[in-house]
Amino acid sequence: MMDFMFAKPNISLDECVVTYDGTYEGLLTVVFECYRLKLAPTVIKPSGAAPQSLFTSQHPIEVTTDNASAKRVVAGIRKYGLQQAVMDVYKTFLSEDSNREMVIFGYLRLLFSIQKPINTRYHVSEVLRVSQLVKQMRREVHRMHAFVRFQELADGLFFAPIEPDFDVLPVTYQHFKARYASMQWCIYDIKRDYGVLYNGQTVEEVKLEEAKALNSVQLPAALLSGKEQDYQQLWRDYFNSTNIIERKNIKLHLRHVPTRYWKYLTEKQ
Amino acid sequence: MNERIQEKLKILADAAKYDVSCASSGSDRAAKAGGLGNASNMGICHSYTEDGRCVSLLKVLLTNYCIYDCAYCVSRSSNDVKRAAFTVDEVVELTMEFYKRNYIEGLFLSSGIFKNADYTMERLVRIAKDLRLVHNFNGYIHLKLIPGASDELVQQAGLYADRLSANLELPSETSLKLIAPEKSYAQVYEPMNYLKEAIVEYKREKKLVKSTPKFAPAGQSTQMVIGASPETDLHILNLSSSLYEEQNLKRVYFSGYIPVSNDTRLPTLVAPPLVRENRLYQADWLMRFYGFKVDEIVDDQHPHLDMQFDPKLVYALRNMHLFPINLQTAPYEMVVRVPGIGIRSAKKIMAARRYTRIHIDLLKKLRVALNRAQYFIDVPGNLLLRKDYYPELIRKELAGETKPQQLALFA
């Protein structure tokens, strides 16, 4: 099997639009195919989202996701950029940035040509962009570690709805799995309509019909465990009592807890 | 709901809120099978109150009954406030249930002193022990060391808590004696010194026997009230520097004095000295992370920190002969001394310059605070350097009294 990283990318003048299924594995397959077919895509977009260019008659090249190819690309990223590059590229994808595909493609092209970590070459625009997006992701992941608020349901499941700015759940749940290993819990991304359910042993992705109707932290009282509302009230009481009125500083408060997160914060209800 | 618990929580959280520390970092306690929680090494602030302070731990007093009458303290015996006391089970339940809901990283437990130091300390330790051994709780625990507590109890506390702290309360013993006549520095230094030795001992044993149980893995901290007594910033920073170097403290906290009584031993303030407190923390940061020595920040000629500008900028203005710095060649120690360049930016610059010329445009992209840095760096594209700057002009420009002329041209 040829190690595709050693194939010199012959970036020709053939410019093209490449589409994929919108998944991470799909994008990695695109990278693989571009090397195999010596393509220099100018646009990489999920199918259906690619703009029709006025100036070319070319049809977009549609790449079919192939997990084996995606795995080989990941192996290549790890080989040259170590685990950090694997995570940085994945987080860049999860950032949902509108230009993420081309940023990742440019980043990987440089990585595969230099063949050692490139994460501090900030003068290269793709490297700088990856570092910025990774930083945004890190901040949002950290916020979710902080702002997730579980509510105990009558059946003992701890449930938390979230609406993060980026798709952070795939790189967030491990923290909760380690911390709440003996509980059963579910964190649900309302915006992206999927969640992570931990049954006390393993984690699985779930889609809940009822979740769409949720638009605040207030779950129907009938669903909650007997003492849940008491603890929520105690937490609000604590939050208010621990404030020092003489030091009031709303600007600082808002910088740390932007209003868009309030909806799911028990103490702000 | 149990209204008694609700009332107790209000009273005992309100009484505990003047303790500044809310750190939940520095510990790496792993989760255990069947247990609840772990400690995140970087710490997590789960919320922020309207005063902008972090809420990371359930910070409560076990009781606000107190035999002491310290003028600065809201729980002093002569103060007419509602009193309450938690039971062991109540504190344990609140900690566990709040933790399960991801409200907190753990517990910060302090107490008014009832009967005597050991009697109080023994109860604090019992709660930590109960959480760890009975409830298999592996979240963060910060216990207050009661001044005068015996070595045995301090040792016990270290076995169950992540962090311990004994508060100096005031920046000098003279002030302490005046405001808190029953307390002395010796009472505070005693448990602090014991703990310091015990932590050294633990680390030695840990090297030999890997299974040695954890002992205060997040170290110890202390706190002092600022603005209730006449000490200068020079005095305060010298004290905190010695606490870091000699007592191996992890943190020294400053608490801007908030008038909690009209006791004549205390000054009357219109507002708490929040700017001064902030400047002291900035100076503290410079000492802990930026390699500054106290006398580079304050000295006999300048015993107080500048209230208008941060201490790093003031340092640069006083040492114009060291600048501008060539960012392509300067050592890291000097790069971090440039106002507007923090630790992260400095590291990025050090890494990036191996591959490229550091140009002002790159600094912009790296989001260096150029409004301050531009006066102190020698990099291509920095047009400001052509001007013959002197400290007073930089001060004026940064205060917005004069416009930076070159910037206006190229903005």
Q: Which pLDDT score is estimated for B387?
A: 66
Q: Across the strands, what pairs with B55?
A: B47
Give CA–CA dist B265/B258, Å, rounded.
Answer: 14
Identify the closest residue of chain A to B353 by CA–CA distance.
Answer: A121
Interface test with A, best of B64, B92, B103, B281 (most A CBs within 10 A): B103
Rounded average pLDDT over B182-197: 92
Rounded average pLDDT over B303-318: 96
Rounded average pLDDT over B171-195: 92
CATH number belonging to domain B3-224+250-255: 3.20.20
Can you list the pairs that B328-336 forms with residues at least 24 positions away whose Cβ atoms lie under 8 Å?
B328/B353, B328/B357, B328/B358, B328/B379, B333/B291, B336/B290, B336/B291
Query: A152–B101: do the CB atoms touch at under 8 Å?
Result: yes
Place of tokens 């929040």: B274
Alpha-carbon distance A69 to nearest alpha carbon in chain B (angstroms): 32
Q: Which pLDDT score is estimated for B72?
A: 84
Q: Which residue, B143, B98, B89, B96, is CA-closest to B121?
A: B143
Place of tokens 């060539």: B326
Band of the pLDDT at B26, cuts 50, 70, 90? Answer: confident
Dump pLDDT digits (tens) for B204-223.
999 999 888 999 999 999 99
Alpha-carbon distance A27 to nearest alpha carbon in chain B (angstroms): 27
Q: Which pLDDT score is estimated for B184?
A: 92
Dump pLDDT digits (tens) for A57-101.
567 889 999 999 999 999 999 999 999 999 999 999 999 999 999
Domain boundaries along the sequence of chain B:
3-224+250-255, 311-410
Q: Which pLDDT score is estimated for B404?
A: 59
Q: Which residue, A245, A177, B383, is CA-closest to A186?
A: A177
**What CA dihedral angle connects B15, B19, B23 and B27, to 10 degrees?**
-90
Q: Which pLDDT score is estimated for A3?
A: 47
Q: Which pLDDT score is estimated for A62?
A: 92
Rounded average pLDDT over A34-39: 92
Complex ipTM: 0.90
DSSP characters over B205-258: HHHH-TTPPP--TT-EEEEEEESSS---HHHHHHHHHHHHHHS--SEEEEEE--
Band of the pLDDT at B409, cuts 50, 70, 90? Answer: very low
Q: Which pLDDT score is estimated for A56?
A: 55
Looking at beta carbons, which residues of chain A come within 8 Å of B35? 181-182
Alpha-carbon distance A29 to nearest alpha carbon in chain B (angstroms): 30
Place of tokens 């970036």: A11
Dump pLDDT digits (tens) for B104-157.
999 999 999 999 999 999 999 999 999 999 999 999 999 999 999 999 999 999
Query: A122–B33: do the CB atoms touch at under 8 Å?
Result: no
Q: Which residue has the higher pLDDT, A221 or B269?
A: A221
Looking at beta carbons, which residues of chain B come within 8 Å of A255? 52
Which residues 212-271 of B have a C-beta within 8 angstroms of A?
256, 258-259, 271
Q: Which pLDDT score is estimated for B40?
A: 84
Q: Is the pLDDT of residue B405 over 60?
A: no
- A95, A133 Cβ separation under 8 angstroms: yes
Looking at beta carbons, which residues of chain A come within 8 Å of B256? 247
Rounded average pLDDT over A35-56: 78
**Average predicted confidence (pLDDT) for chain B:** 91
Chain A CB within 8 Å of residue B7 CB: no
Alpha-carbon distance B110 to nearest alpha carbon in chain A (angstroms): 14
pLDDT more than 90, % of chain B: 77
Q: Is the pLDDT of residue B63 over 50?
A: yes
Domain boundaries along the sequence of chain A:
4-140, 148-268
Query: A122–B362: do the CB atoms touch at under 8 Å?
Result: yes
Q: Which pLDDT score is estimated for B382?
A: 82
The side-by-side arrangement of strands in the sheet containing B106-110 is: B57-61, B106-110, B140-144, B163-165, B220-226, B251-256
**What CA dihedral angle connects B230, B233, B238 and B241, to 10 degrees?**
120
Give CA–CA dist A230/B385, Å, rounded.
Answer: 62
Compute CA distances A25 → A29, A131, A143, B258, B354, whole Å: 6, 21, 27, 57, 34
Dump pLDDT digits (tens) for B237-294.
999 999 999 999 999 999 998 877 677 777 776 788 999 999 999 999 999 999 999 9
Chain B CB within 8 Å of residue A122 CB: yes
Query: A183–B100: do the CB atoms touch at under 8 Å?
Result: yes
**Average predicted confidence (pLDDT) for chain A:** 90
- A192, A167 Cβ separation under 8 angstroms: yes
| Torsional sign, CA B131, B137, B138, B139 | negative
Q: Is the pLDDT of residue B340 over 70?
A: yes
User: How many CB atoms within 10 Å of residue A64?
Assistant: 10
Which residues 172-191 of A have a C-beta within 8 angstroms of B?
175-176, 178-183
Tokens matching residue B100: 């399960």
Q: Which residue has the higher pLDDT, B178 or A59?
A: B178
Q: Which pLDDT score is estimated for B385?
A: 67
Compute CA distances A188 → A96, A192, A194, A221, B341, whole Å: 18, 9, 6, 19, 39
Alpha-carbon distance B48 to nearest alpha carbon in chain A (angstroms): 6
Alpha helices in B101-248 (DSSP H): 117-129, 151-160, 173-179, 185-208, 233-246
Give CA–CA dist A207/A230, Å, rounded.
Answer: 29
